[in-house]
Amino acid sequence: MSENSPAGAIRLDGPPRDAGSDVDIYRAIRRRRMHRKFKPEPPDRAALETLAWAAGRAPMGGGQLVRRIIVVDDPNIVELIAKVTPSWLNDAPALIAICTDLEVAETKMGYLGRDIISQLDAGAAAQNVALAAVALELGTCFCRSANDVAVQAILELPDTVRPDVLIAVGHPAPTPSKPISLAPRIVYHNRWGEPWRPE
């Protein structure tokens, strides 16, 4: 660990050996979806550690000290987060919070890094979690809290740490909610309005 590493930081060098079978990335993209119905039993710690590892492997501007990952499997904390997060439309038993240390982000990348780049990075981390969850046969659901202050209080985040994405995690229910129909893709070629024509 570097002397500049934040307190409590650990290095996750890779997923546990039994992290799930390798899944073709295109298959994972096809199978990935947002779940709203979950079984009550939480994922085991090895699976949650693998998802945290996947989040940490996502692209990140400004170096690895900007992103903070909080794994939550305490049912009381999950319940409190659900109560204060209007977009928490699921019954997952665990969650992963992708957060940004705003002071570090601003020091490394300025206001642009703090306000924009860090949120792009949080989205990349969330997508890594969603794709890794497919390999573990877990489901996820992304939420963006409209109540950062309450989430900060529940997770005991410093004022300088912003919760960017809350990812519900669990075993999908046997009869999951229906997937949302995807809108048609709008892809242009070289310039706006010029249709992309696949060969």
Mean pLDDT over the full length of the chain: 85
0.85 exceeded by the pTM? no
Quick one: pLDDT at residue 21? 57
Q: What mean pLDDT do residues 35-49 have?
A: 93
Amino acid at 87: S
Quick one: pLDDT at residue 80? 96
| Structural domains of the chain, ranges and CATH numbers in brackets | 25-170 (3.40.109.10)
| pLDDT exceeds cutoff 70 at 63 | no
| pLDDT exceeds cutoff 90 at 55 | yes
% pLDDT > 70, the chain: 82
| pLDDT exceeds cutoff 50 at 1 | no
